[in-house]
Structure 1
Amino acid sequence: MAHAEKVFKVKNGKKTTKYTWRVRYKKPDGTWGSEPGFPTKKLAEDWGEQQEAAIRSGMWIAPEKLQTPLGEWVKIWKTANQKRPRTQSSRAYLLDKLLLPEWGHTPLHEVNNVFIVKAWATRMAKPHGKHDPDTVAQARSLLSTILSGAEDAGYIPANKLYGRRILVGSDHHDEEEEVWAQPDEIYRISQRLDGVHALMPLADCYLGLRWGELAGLHRDNCLLKREDRIDGKPFVRHVVRVDPKVGSLHEDTFELDEDGLQEWHRAEDARLEEYRAKGWKANRRKAPKNVVKLYLGPPKNKYSAREVDVPEFLVRLLAEHIEAWPHEHPFSTPGGQFWRRGNFTRAQLRPAADGREAIERKKGFAGREAWEPVLPGFTMRGARHTHDTWMKDDGVDRALRFLTMGWVPKDIEGTYEHVTPEMRRHRLQRLEARWERGQRVARRAGVETSEESISRGSPK
């Protein structure tokens, strides 16, 4: 049975007349546990009896586990929750920038408090704080996931954040809708670009691939021939294939290990040596903690490994491009390197969609003409939104829409519905009609209506 005992305070090595109470209670393994610091005997005994009651009911959690700092628990939790590199890098950002600076040294049972988390979210999100409300909401969600892990491991009795809706930022926080394109708009954007730069946004609007699936597409998976039969007659189509193992380009942040750090220092030494040989002044840069890597890997999920039917006009454009393209990946840079999404968007898509100012001709620069805005804010993600919007508008069956977009069919309808050749033909016919309509509208607007810009700039 729990019992309390006095604990006298010591000053200058001598016991004083002041004291607190310490309770001793029997733990599940038969040993005696203790907890000091109670101001009265009754409070100490009540606390001890609560522990023994929890032990008898099987709900007891050791006080030292409840006192585990969040930062220490996160190290344990991360070893049991290995995710894809992109997920790990996004979690690392949220932990380093928002969660651990606030609660890294705070005991788990104190973090597990809805009121405290609400106050933190309000303080961190704009306009009160410096973080975007969506980022703070992601951090709050991650904190709940971490606390659920602590609950499963027996470090806290229950995750009090689970299932609780915590508003972040203003209740009227509006998310900007993704910008999608009409056929003439994406045609006009593509006409402003050359070669592969022109083909990339155009192809994505008519295929609906994710950025990584487009940028990582291999030439061996392009324009594969498939034959079906409709009413006893052959129906031939061409597809692009998203490979289940290496069908997507990933751009993720990795923490530098010892080998990676040594490699970075060797590269930095070589850079400094090169600068010195040229007589240039250069200072040694600070070693980074992380490195961003581009690599091929599996697509988002098993449904993302798929084949997407290509409309006839795009079959022609893509075939001409691949024939002249010397690199393995048709949508790589002109030098054959993988694109970084931000580089392509900034250098190619933004001026083509948002417009640009004219620059006068001067010595060493030929100058450039001004471009009026066509579709401000359009992105490669918007191209994927565009394709699904078109399919919905054209009455493409849901089964084919899900297959084309690489979505997971979670309901009973998705389990039982199947894609037919008629559905495929209908989608391809409607996309071909959109392409022709886009050119007609552009012609009326005075835009060049030829396919020269697609091949212009492609290596021969």
Structure 2
Amino acid sequence: MAYAEKRGTGKTPWRARYKRPDGTLGSEPGFRTKKAAEEWGEDQEAAIRAGRWQDPERARTPFAEFVPIWMAAQKAAPATTIKRQRLLTRHLIPGFGTTKLCEINIFTARAWGNKQTCAQSTVGHALTLLSMILTGAADAGYLLANPMYGRRRQSDRAVHDVTQQQGAVGHVEDDDEEVWAQPEDAYQLYQRMGGVEGLMVLTACYTGLRWGELAGLHRSNVLLKRTDELDGKPFERIVFRIDPKVGALHEVEFALDEADLKRWHEAEDARLVACQEKEWKAKRRKEPKGQVRLYLGPPKNRTSSREVDLPPFLAQLWEEHLKEWPHEYVFSTPGTEGAWWRRGNYSRVLRPAADGREAIPRKRGYAGRGGWEPILPEFTMRGARHTHDTWMKEDRVDRSLRFKTMGWAVTGDIEGVYEHVTPQMRKERLDALEARWERSQRMALAQVS
């Protein structure tokens, strides 16, 4: 039976003693009165008998000690695991490493987030991960519940700068909103970038494929023919197929192990020797902490493995592209032996095309270049995916086809269980996209004239 012991003469001299499930005595200090200590101990024994007891000692486990336990229980893609490790080592463990699990709550999390000087999106990702870990602690019996579950972090948008207000009173520009394109914007980017780079951004806008799905496309999965029946007649469509096993290119920064570092140092030594032989000045580069690797793997989730219909104009552009394209992967970098695009490499092409660039005059040894006016500042390939879904919404494409095209899963929705994609839906979407393309060309001709 639980009882109380007096320890010391301070403001909280009493501690509770109670019998734990294994028969040993547990204790909890910090009570002002004997009665309070006895009642707390009796509550613990009652919870033990009812099978709902949580060990207070486990709740006092430091956050940094529980993190490896939680990480070992997770099954995630390499990119997700590395992102979590980066958030933990750079942000969460320095902030909460010695904090007891039971002392982390929405208040302490918000206070920590408000002090951070990194990007607010990074703070948001870190707090989301913190909440996931606390949910794991509750599942593992370290906590009764996750105190952050269902609680939203206060947004810094509540603090307004009147200089950001534009247009009507009370309207504040949302800087975090993804930039999306009108059809004429997509056409201008396609024309300005040209080649495979322009075709890539145009394809993204008219199909909604993710960056990795575009960069990982193989010849065997493009321009496939599918035939349905519509109004008693054959309805042929051209599709891209996202393979369930190797349908996406993943770009992940892996930590270097000892063997990797040894190979890096050997290559660096060889580089320095070659520079010395040519009498070039060269310094030893800083040892890298990680290495970005490209590999083909499954797309984002199960529903991302899909087929996406191409409007007729885009299928024709693709037929012309493949006639002259020598590589197996249809969006590999030009001028190479079919090397995959990296996000950074492609960004160096997209950024000046979308944001504009200054002219550089001709000088000795340099032919110069013309300036570009901005077309769509801050537009990204993710924005192209936003673009396609926005167009489908505007064209009133049925939700079932929108979700299937974008590779989204319908969860917890009875409507999603019963609705299906029909050939008529597909035709209406393709007709709408074709009309957008024709509109963009008319507007381009009008601007020229």
Give the TM interval when normalised to the shorter protein. 0.7 to 0.9
Task: Find the partner of 2:115 among 123, 139, 160.
Answer: 123
Matched, 1:101 2:110: no
**Partner of residue 64 from structure 2, selected from 68, 71, 77:** 71
Aligned letter for 1:100?
Answer: I
Distance in 2, Cα, partners of 1:352 & 1:215 = 19
> 1:344 — aligned with what?
346
- Tell me the equivalent position of 1:374: 375
Which runs of structure 2 are paired with 1:242-261 in the superposition (5 Å)?
A: 242-261=242-261
Is the 1:239–1:310 contact (alpha carbons within 8 Å) kept by the matching residues of 2? Answer: yes
Look up the equivalent residue of 2:407 and give its one-letter code: G
Identity rate of aligned residues, in percent? 61
Residues 1:165 and 2:152 are matched in the alignment: yes
Cα distance in 1 for partners of 2:280, 2:45 equals 74
1:81 paired to 2:74: yes
CA shift for structure 1 position 284:
3.5
Alignment of 1:287-326 (within 5 A): 287-326=287-326
CA deviation after TM superposition for structure 1 residue 239, in Å: 0.9
Structure 2: distance between partners of 1:395 and 1:21: 69
CA contact (8 A) 1:137 1:168 kept: no
- Name the counterpart of 2:218: 218
Task: Show the counterpart of 1:145.
Answer: 132
1:405-416 matches, within 5 Å, as 405-410=406-411, 411-416=413-418
Structure 2 equivalent of residue 114 of structure 1: 106
Bigger Cα displacement from structure 2, 134-143 vs 433-442: 134-143
In the aligned structure 1, how far is the partner of 2:255 from the partner of 2:136?
23
Q: For residues 270 and 137 of structure 2, what CA distance do their matches in structure 1 show?
A: 47
| Structure 1 residue 287, shift from structure 2 partner | 3.1
Q: Which of residues 38, 50, 55 in structure 2 aligns to 1:62?
A: 55
CA contact (8 A) 1:23 1:45 kept: yes
Quick one: structure 1 residues 102 and 323, their matched pair in 2 at CA, closer, same or farther if it must change by over 3 Å?
same
Query: Deviation string for 1:375-414 (max 9, x for gaps)?
Result: 2222111211222222222232222222211121232222
CA distance in 1, matches of 2:8, 2:388: 76
Q: 2:54, 2:259 → 1: CA distance?
A: 41
Q: Please state how far the C-alpha of 1:242 moved relative to its aligned partner.
A: 0.7
Q: Tell me how far 1:138 sits from its aligned partner.
A: 2.2
What is aligned with 1:392?
393
Where does residue 134 of structure 1 map in the other structure?
121
How far the C-alpha of 1:47 sits from its partner, in A, is 5.3
**TM, length-normalised to structure 2:** 0.88
Tell me how far apart the structure 2 counterparts of residues 244 and 134 of structure 1 sit (CA, whole Å). 30
Is the CA contact 1:136–1:168 (under 8 Å) kept in the aligned structure 2?
no
Q: Structure 1, residues 302-345: CA drift from partner, whole Å, max 9, x if none?
A: 21111111122222221121121111111111112111223212
Partner in structure 2 of residue 457 of structure 1: none
Residue 222 of structure 1 deviates from its aligned partner by 0.8
Give the Cα–Cα distance (whole angstroms) in 2 for the partners of residues 66 and 85 of structure 1. 30
Residues 418 and 158 of structure 1, relative CA distance in 2, 3 Å threshold: closer
Q: 1:170 to 1:235 in 2, by over 3 A?
A: closer
Alignment-derived partner of residue 276 in structure 1 = 276
Change (3 A) 1:107 1:435: same
| Rounded Cα–Cα distance in structure 1 between residues aligned with 2:416 and 2:223 | 27
Which residue number corresponds to residue 165 of structure 2? Answer: none
Structure 1, 114-123 or 277-286: larger mean CA deviation:
277-286
CA distance in 1, matches of 2:122, 2:129: 11
Looking at structure 2, the residues matched to 286 and 50 of structure 1 have their Cα atoms a distance apart, in angstroms, of 59
**TM-score of the two chains, using structure 1 as the length reference:** 0.86
| 1:265 maps onto 2:269 in alignment | no
Unmatched runs of 5 consecutive residues or more in structure 1: 10-19, 125-129, 448-460
Q: Is the 8 A contact 1:122 1:168 kept in 2?
A: no
Counting only pairs closer than 5 Å after superposition, residues 22-41 of structure 1 correspond to structure 2 as 24-34=17-27
Measure, in 1, the Cα distance between the counterparts of 2:30 and 2:232: 87
Q: CA deviation at 1:253?
A: 2.3
Contact 1:86/1:252 (8 A) holds in 2: yes
One-letter amino acid matched to 2:419: E
Matching residue of 1:450: none
Unaligned runs of 5+ residues in structure 2 are 161-173
**Structure 1: distance between partners of 2:31 and 2:317:** 80
The answer as to 2:437 corresponding to 1:435 is yes
How many Å separate the matches in 2 of 1:237 and 1:105?
59
- Relative to structure 1, the CA distance from residue 166 to residue 378 in structure 2 (aligned partners, 3 Å threshold; closer, same or farther) is closer
| Partner Cα distance (2:34, 2:392) in 1 | 74
More displaced stretch, 77-86 vs 382-391: 382-391
Deviation at 1:355, TM superposition (A): 1.3
Aligned residue type for 2:293? K
**CA shift in 2, pair 1:4/1:337, >3 Å:** same
The residue identity in structure 1 corresponding to 2:115 is R
Letter in 2 for 1:179: V
SS in 2 for 1:363: coil
Task: Report the counterpart of residue 179 of structure 1 in structure 2.
Answer: 179
Q: CA deviation at 1:207?
A: 1.5
Partner of 2:200: 200
Contact in 2 for aligned 1:71/1:100 (Cα 8 Å): yes
Measure, in 2, the Cα distance between the counterparts of 1:58 and 1:285: 60
Measure, in 2, the Cα distance between the counterparts of 1:292 and 1:408: 30
Q: CA deviation at 1:39?
A: 8.4
C-alpha contact 1:357 1:371 (8 A) present in aligned 2: yes
Q: Given the superposition, is the C-alpha separation of residues 268 and 3 from structure 1 closer, same or farther in structure 2, using an over 3 Å criterion?
A: farther
Change (3 A) 1:382 1:193: same
- Establish whether residue 403 from structure 1 lines up as the match of residue 414 from structure 2: no
Distance change in 2, residues 1:295/1:148 (3 Å): same
8 Å CA contact 1:59–1:157 kept in 2: the answer is no
- Return the alpha-carbon distance in structure 2 between the equivalents of residues 373 and 121 of structure 1: 35
Q: Distance in 1 between matches of 2:149 and 2:115?
A: 21
Task: Give secondary structure in 1 for the equivalent of 2:438.
Answer: helix
